[in-house]
Structure 1
Amino acid sequence: MKLVLDLADDLALALRLADAADVQSSARFRAADLAVETKPDRTPVTDGDQAVERAIRDILATERPDDAILGEEYGGERADGRQWIVDPIDGTTNFLRGQSVWGSLIALAIDGEPVIGVASAPALGRRWWGAIGQGAWAAALPAGEPEAIEVSGVRRLEDAFISYNAIQGWDDAGWLDPLLALTRASWRARALGDFWAYMLVAEGQLDMAGEHDLKVYDIAALIPIVTEAGGRFTALDGTAGPWSGTALATNALVHDEVLQILSSHLPPSAR
């Protein structure tokens, strides 16, 4: 991929953006005066989400003024060339309920393809990142030493530990039968949600994670981390890229088997 030759400066910037995000989000986590609104799509947004995205956009306006930005709270459209894709707080429901599984997702995409991804979870005390050609890494927050991460070596779905996030999303999409077939074919299945399940795939603690009803900012940052850890990341129908609205991340070894089970149990109208 000749467009991506030197990502060192951009990765350093992405990590600084994550630092700024952590400052804003941590200040509002479990705050007694946390402001919560409901967006038109009926999903919640907090003043923490908004503060994080503003902080990231302010830095990018100075550091990368010519780059496009697409963020959950302040919008943007898919753009050619360089584009930062931001989910200021992935797991907002957890955040506003005081649960610790939430994080800021920051990606750099070039011509729609994510090449850098950072997922920072200060309440969990952990950060993950990856860049094409530079491997996948994780570190304890606030200042742990980076360590390389890699996916598991599990080769058979019957031995695999999988996560499906929320059963309602599969049911609403008409994929409940494929999900049940997948869980029956696996060793263990859990509903571990949001970005965290994908990071567990990248670290080798899960062998698969997948879900429906996603936006590009839910997915983009996860792809370089999982793939640089040795995994594979597609949509649930096998389509590549972050724009399809679904996600399937595996250790690569069970990916084709998962796709086959899902597709073979779809109703004819959904194939």
Structure 2
Amino acid sequence: MATPPDQWQSLHQGRLSAMIEVASAAGQHTLKHFRRDDLVVDAKSDDSPVTVADREAEQLVRKLLNERFPDDTVQGEEFAEAKGTSPYRWIVDPIDGTKSFVCGVPLYSTLLALECDAEPLGGVILIPALGEMAVAGVGQGSWYQSRSDAAWGQASVSSTRELSKAVFVVSQVDSFAALNAADAYLGLEKEARVTRSWGDGYGYLLVATGRADLMVDPICNPWDVAAVLPVVNEAGGKFTDWKGETTSRGGNGVGTNGLLHEAVIERLRG
């Protein structure tokens, strides 16, 4: 199986390789603002935080993509969708986990996904402050690279078969109550071996690389999980919404090693 990014140059007119390069540039840009005392934090209409780093990183992604693929659509968290004429769509979350970023916690991520005719083609989960990256191309596998080892290795989910032995990660516990699912969270927390709030894109990267077994998001937007879907699925796991549909547009998400997926969905439905 081809190893990214060199062997991906010919796929989709180089878009899979560009996906990695553009995400890397955006993630590197966020570090210019990370842990700075003069960082200004604004509140969006939903009271969630946004910073100059979010805006600049997304603008950089849009600029780089427009230079190489001007006919493609680009959707992001911080700015209006730029509609293109090609069947390709890019979905970017420049900083997934802005609250972590603002607090100086290095577990935020830069997410970039590629779709064609609304079907997933690939995704990148980059943790800039830790130097970890997981990338996937549909049919091309899921791959992992860390700062300590420049070589790419295949990403693979865990083989845990019992919830009682599982590591369960979430982004924010109180968001379960918004779906009247507080009891579902408490049940999973009680049943799992370990529960931690290593959430956002980092939590899904942990699932894709076998360090966690399940990640649950009660509330999410397409830019939060469009990159996650191919990374987790190509690593041998499973990403769906809470109904069990393989989509990034269900409004919520579940990423598991696949072996635990039906059990987790059952508990969430209950």
Deviates more, 1:134-143 or 1:83-92: 134-143
Task: Tell whether the 8 Å contact from 2:124 to 2:227 is kept in structure 1 after alignment.
Answer: yes
Question: Secondary structure of 1:139's partner?
Answer: strand
Q: 1:167 offset after TM fit, Å?
A: 1.3
Q: 1:39 to 1:204 in 2, by over 3 A?
A: same
The secondary structure found in structure 2 opposite 1:138 is: strand
Deviations 1:2-57 (A, max 9, x none): xxx93471111011102210231111111232222111111111000111011110
Identity %: 33
Matches within 5 A, 1:43-122: 43-76=48-81, 81-122=87-128
Question: Which residue in 2 is equivalent to 1:202?
Answer: 208
Q: Which residue of 2 aligns with 1:220?
A: 226
8 Å CA contact 1:122, 1:141 repeated in 2: no
| Structure 2 unaligned spans of 5+ | 1-9
Deviations 1:237-262 (A, max 9, x none): 21220001111000000101111122
Q: Secondary structure at the match of 1:28?
A: coil
Q: Give the one of 147, 152, 167 matched to 1:146.
A: 152
Paired with 2:33 and 2:87, the residues of 1 have a C-alpha distance of 34
Q: Match of 1:218, as an amino acid?
A: D
Query: SS where residue 22 of structure 1 aligns?
Result: helix
Aligned to 1:26: 31
| Higher mean C-alpha deviation, range 140-149 or range 44-53 | 140-149
How many Å separate the matches in 1 of 2:173 and 2:185? 8
The count of aligned residue pairs is 260
Map 1:251-262 onto structure 2 (within 5 A): 251-262=257-268
Distance 1:34 1:253 in 2: 42
In the aligned structure 1, how far is the partner of 2:16 from the partner of 2:40?
Answer: 32
- Write out per-residue CA displacement over residues 185-232 of structure 1, whole angstroms, 9 at most, x where no aligned residue: 222222221111111100111111011121110000111110010000
Amino acid in the other structure paired with 2:106: S
Q: For 2:66, give the aligned amino acid.
A: A
Instruction: Identify which of 233, 238, 243 aligns with 2:239.
Output: 233
What amino acid is the match of 1:177?
Answer: D
What residue in structure 2 maps to residue 269 of structure 1?
none
Unaligned runs of 5+ in 1: 265-271
RMSD of equivalent CA atoms: 1.9
Confirm or deny: 8 A CA contact 2:109 2:200 kept in the other structure: no
Match of 1:184 in 2: 190
Partner residue of 2:173 out of 132, 142, 167: 167
Number of the residue aligned with 2:19:
14
Q: Is the 8 A contact 1:101 1:124 kept in 2?
A: yes
Q: Spell out structure 1 runs of 4+ moving beyond 4 A.
A: 77-80
Aligned mates of 1:8, 1:192 — CA distance in 2 = 35
CA spacing shift, 1:251–1:143, aligned 2, 3 Å: closer
TM-score norm. by structure 1 comes to: 0.91
* Structure 2 counterpart of 1:35: 40
- 1 CA distance for matches of 2:168 and 2:102? 26
Partners of 1:133 and 1:7 in 2: CA distance: 13
Match of 1:123 in 2: 129
Does the CA contact (< 8 Å) of 1:161 and 1:206 recur in 2? yes
Contact 1:78 1:112 in 2 (8 A): no
Deviates more, 1:246-255 or 1:107-116: 107-116
